[in-house]
Amino acid sequence: SQQGEEDPQALSIQEGENATMNCSYKTSINNLQWYRQNSGRGLVHLILIRSNEREKHSGRLRVTLDTSKKSSSLLITASRAADTASYFCATVTDRGAQKLVFGQGTRLTINP
């Protein structure tokens, strides 16, 4: 079973616009991570936010975490055609488990 749910399932925007994806999860976490997957490829780690952090930036990426609502968002600013991919959130529980539990993903399409 999967921990998280991403919203929306699919998002299509014009190049240059900002893209926002949301993730909700069910259990307490140690950290939450976002990964990107291009078609037919493996997942690539983008950014990690710990449970005691509220916001984190990396280049054009901004991640927020609200542990009271058990939710996170990923914002990609000034989108590019190369950002077209599926984006997954993944959580590590705070019970010492090592595995990452992934959501269903958001399929992002950037139209040139």
d(CA 65, CA 31): 10
- In whole angstroms, how close is the CB of 46 to other proteins at the nearest point? 10
* Binding flag, residue 97, other proteins (CB under 8 A): yes
* Residue 32 interacts with other proteins (CB under 8 A): yes or no: no
Bridge partners, residue 24, by sequence: 5, 71
Per rule CB under 8 A, count of chain residues that contact other proteins: 27
**Residue 59 interacting with other proteins (CB under 8 A):** no
Does 101 bind other proteins (CB under 8 A)? Our answer is yes
SS3 content of the chain, % helix, strand, coil (to 5): 5, 55, 40
